[in-house]
Amino acid sequence: MNKKQITRNSIAVLAAFLAVCGINLLYGIRAENTMLSNSVTVVLMFGAFAYVGAQFLKKPVNGRLLVYGAADGMLFAALMSWGFSLNYTDTVWNPQVLPAFLCLAPFFTICVSASLRMLAGLPGKEAGAAEKSEAGSAAAQEADKLADAHISQADGPTAYFIAYSFPVRKFYWFCFAVLFLSWVPVLLASWPGIFSYDCGWQLAAVADHAWTAHHPILHTAMLWITRQIGRALTGSNQTGALLYSLLQMVIMSALYADVCLYLRQKKAPKWLWMGALIFLGFHPVNSLMALCATKDSIFTAVFAVFVVQLLRMAEYPEVFFASRRRQLLFCVNVFFLYAFRNNGLHTFLFCIPFLLWAYRRYWKKMLLLCVICLGLYGIYTGPVYSALGIEPGDAREMCSVLMQSAARVYNLDYQGLTEEQREGILAMIDEEGLNTYMSRFADPVKAYFHGSEFAENPVPFLKTWISVGMTHKKMYIDSFLAGSFGYWYPGDTIEDNPSGRDYFEYYCKEFREDVDVTMESRIPALSEFYRKIGNEASFQKVPVIAATFNLGVYTWLWLFTMLLLFYARQWRRLIVMAPFTGYFLTNLLGPVVKMRYHYPFIACMPLMIYLIWRVYKEKKGED
């Protein structure tokens, strides 16, 4: 063994030792700092970590690879350290967090770098590598275009009637049927559907003629119209609820079938498109959301089709900008993006500069499309809202971060506030609300926030908030991270609460008699299975499987996919990450971490894996 190999192995051993020390430091936060160090488990972990490091260092590395690996490696180490500390102590300022981060960062860097090299090789290794990569990518796209010539006009389910050939038509309806039928047992188990979350409030608002833009108007209208049809047919809310459940199943089956169709069109391996079909049809998260009458269900399916549209644009921009039909479908897709979720608009706004940059060759057409989409939003929220008598939503929905950080300081350091600062906070949040503060749930404080007053004159409260923050920076940081870490920490545990371990609300929520429905399961055993998953988070007891329910896992997959596209210089495909980023940022500002809010990341997991596979395929083609 030469000196170079000894040095590499020594680095691998050191990184492995630091990694297990970092894990041990995190467990020390729970006062269990000897649990790992005195066990055989740590020896096995050390050996596995050292082996991974040694294998990575056996092959060539370069500075660019290590820079990218360190960027994501340090980010993952930080998220792991912060998340663990928040999960058990509600703060990131535990003295063991920084040492744990420093110990974990080298091994995470090795893991990320090894993955990048395996999937994308070493771009820039030779003088002509970049040119070779670009030529290989262009050749691959041209091959795809020729191979898919007979179905190049396939834009999704709407375009089926115009352009789909028989083989494509057959496959699309096969996926549609599999998805719809896979959800029928869930419908029977939860008969007539899962009407929890905000359904009662939405229906009651219409019944009371107090309709506001707090919830998406289109979704509320669907709930109300199906309910009215059900009453007209049988005089029962149950029938209307069943009609809504069937309608949502049809819509989501149609949209998700387009995702599976896209993967098949792009000649993704069978394990990927079949896996996508099985995942979307049978994984409990997707099954439950398909039957849950919340705005997030249909919005997520629309979001997934929007991602597919961006992929098609990235692969064949000249075809997209030459087709008015494709551009029309794009505008319709964007309209439904913000019609089914209010932050769909913010997601699209975030995408606009990236779309204009990525398609600067067609910037006039791209700008016109963006203006049309925003114009549709203006018409929808202007004349349409006025005609229906829709009132604007409450400003408090945008202020979760502000009110939570102020409430945290008020509760944890009351004596550290000046009299003026206390009065400034109490002028906008009632003391009763401040006393109900929960670090991971803003709704108790939000209920006592004077949203209308804030909307009229936000300056006094903002001045107080900034003044308090200048002397309580750490508390503000803790408040923000504690309210969002469930989205990005893959070790998050579901907390106990009065209604159980709430991962998903598997029941029909009682609101008032004229809008309520009752769950009357036709398959009680299956209903109990889903109840335990949703209300008790029973999946947490099953290793590995539990990871497929964890929100942080999907966030890490998104972050890694984005880094891989950067590393492989896949600039056009990188645009696909824009809606994920925009939507994720809006979630960070939300009142609480919920699976349904993060559902687009879960449902789009097959598309992220497709992007990873695509980079790997093109690297193999170059080799």
Stretch (H or E) spanning 332: helix 324-339
Helix (H) or strand (E) holding 352: helix 344-358
For the segment 310-322, the average pLDDT, to the nearest whole number, is 91
* CB contact at 8 A, 157 and 258: yes
Chain-centroid distance, C-alpha 420: 40
Query: In this structure, how many other beta carbons lie within 10 angstroms of the beta carbon of residue 510?
Result: 11
Higher-pLDDT residue of 594, 136: 594
- pLDDT computed for residue 622 by the predictor: 59
Task: Give pLDDT, residue 122.
Answer: 79
Q: What is the pLDDT of residues 145-173, one digit of tens each?
A: 433 433 444 444 444 333 444 467 789 99
Structure tokens at 217: 């108007």
| Close Cβ partners of 468 (under 8 Å, ≥ 6 residues apart) | 406, 409, 417, 421, 425
With H, G, I as helix, E, B as strand and everything else as coil, classify residue 592: strand
What pLDDT is recorded for position 41? 82
CA 57 to chain centre: 34
pLDDT band of residue 389 (cuts 50, 70, 90) is confident
The pLDDT tens digits of the residues spanning 89-130 come to 999 999 999 999 999 999 999 999 999 999 998 765 433 343
The CA distance from 282 to 427, in Å, is: 50
In this predicted structure, the answer to whether residue 10 has a pLDDT above a threshold of 50 is yes
Distance CA 582, CA 507 (A): 31
Structure letter (DSSP) for residue 93 = -
- Cβ–Cβ under 8 Å, residues 117 and 61: yes
| Phi, psi at 99, each rounded to 5° | -60, -40
Rounded to whole angstroms, how far apart are CA atoms 129 and 125?
Answer: 6
**pLDDT tier, 143 (very low <50, low <70, confident <90, very high otherwise):** very low
Which pLDDT does position 585 carry in this prediction? 95
Q: What is the per-residue pLDDT for 169?
A: 78
Contact partners, residue 252, CB within 8 Å, separation at least 6: 179, 290, 297, 298, 301
Residues linked to residue 212 through DSSP beta bridges, in sequence order = 391
Residues 6+ apart with CB under 8 A from 130: 123, 124, 569
Average pLDDT over residues 233-243: 93
Tell me how far apart the 2 most distant CA atoms of the chain are, in Å: 84
Distance CA 215, CA 299 (A): 12
Phi-psi region of 389 (alpha: psi -120 to 50; beta: other; left: phi over 0): left
pLDDT value at position 161?
38
Residue 379, SS3 per DSSP: helix
**11 in Cβ contact with 53 (< 8 Å):** yes
The two tokens of residue 404 are 């939570």
In the structure, what pLDDT confidence band is assigned to residue 291 with cuts at 50, 70 and 90?
very high
pTM for the predicted model, two decimal places: 0.90
Work out the average pLDDT over 425-451.
Answer: 90
| Residue 187 binned pLDDT confidence (cut-offs 50, 70, 90) | very high
Q: Is 127 exposed, middle or buried (0-12, 13-18, 19+ CB in 10 A)?
A: exposed
pLDDT at 462 over 70: yes
Which distant-in-sequence residues (6+ apart) come within 8 Å of 486 by Cβ? 440, 492, 551, 552, 593
Q: What pLDDT does residue 147 have? A: 38
Which residue from 246, 293, 296, 339 is spatially nearest to 516, judged by alpha carbons?
293
Q: Among 162, 148, 348, 354, which Cα is nearest to 263's?
A: 148
- Mean of the per-residue pLDDT values for the chain? 87
Bigger pLDDT: 547 or 393? Answer: 547
Phi, psi of 497 (to 5 degrees): -145, 170
Identify any residues that bridge with 111 across adjacent strands, giving them in sequence order. none
What span, in angstroms and rounded, lies between the C-alpha atoms of 244 and 225? 9
pLDDT class of 32 with cuts at 50, 70, 90: low
Q: What is the model's pLDDT at position 39?
A: 76
Q: With bands split at pLDDT 50, 70 and 90, how would you rate the model's confidence at 455?
A: confident
Angle made by CA atoms 18, 23, 27, in degrees to the nearest 5: 140
Residue where the block lists tokens 């170059």: 622
Q: What is the phi/psi pair of residue 152, to 5°?
A: -65, -15
* CA 15 distance to own-chain centroid: 32
pLDDT tier, 611 (very low <50, low <70, confident <90, very high otherwise): very high
User: In this structure, are residues 365 and 351 in contact, taking their beta carbons and an 8 Å threshold?
Assistant: no
State both tokens at 77: 């180490």
The residue-averaged pLDDT of 330-348 equals: 93
Rounded Cα gap, residues 565 and 553, in angstroms:
19
- Cα 519 to chain centroid, rounded: 29
Q: How far apart are alpha carbons 157 and 452 in whole angstroms?
A: 43
Mean pLDDT of 458-471: 93
C-alpha count within 13 angstroms, C-beta hemisphere, residue 459: 1
Digit-coded pLDDT (tens) for 212-224: 888 899 999 999 9
Average pLDDT over residues 528-543: 90
What does the pLDDT read at residue 213?
Answer: 85
Is the bond preceding 392 in cis, omega lying within 30 degrees of 0? Answer: no
CB contact at 8 A, 322 and 557: no
In this prediction, residue 231 carries a pLDDT of: 93
Can you give the pLDDT at residue 54? 92
Distance CA 280, CA 290 (A): 10
Cis peptide bond upstream of 460, omega within 30 = no
Q: For residue 33, what pLDDT band results from cuts at 50, 70 and 90?
A: low
Confidence of residue 4 (pLDDT cuts 50, 70, 90): confident
- 438: which strand partners? 441
Over residues 420-440, mean pLDDT: 91
Residue 177 pLDDT greater than 70, yes or no: yes
CA–CA–CA angle 431, 437, 441 (5° rounding): 140
Please state, in angstroms and rounded to a whole number, the distance separating the CA atoms of residues 508 and 61. 56
For residue 179, pLDDT over 90 is answered with yes
Percent of the chain with pLDDT over 70: 90
Is the pLDDT at 280 greater than 90? The verdict is: yes
Please report the pLDDT score of residue 331 as a whole number: 95
- Provide CB contacts within 8 A for 51, sequence distance 6+: 12
Whose structure tokens read 């996926």? 175
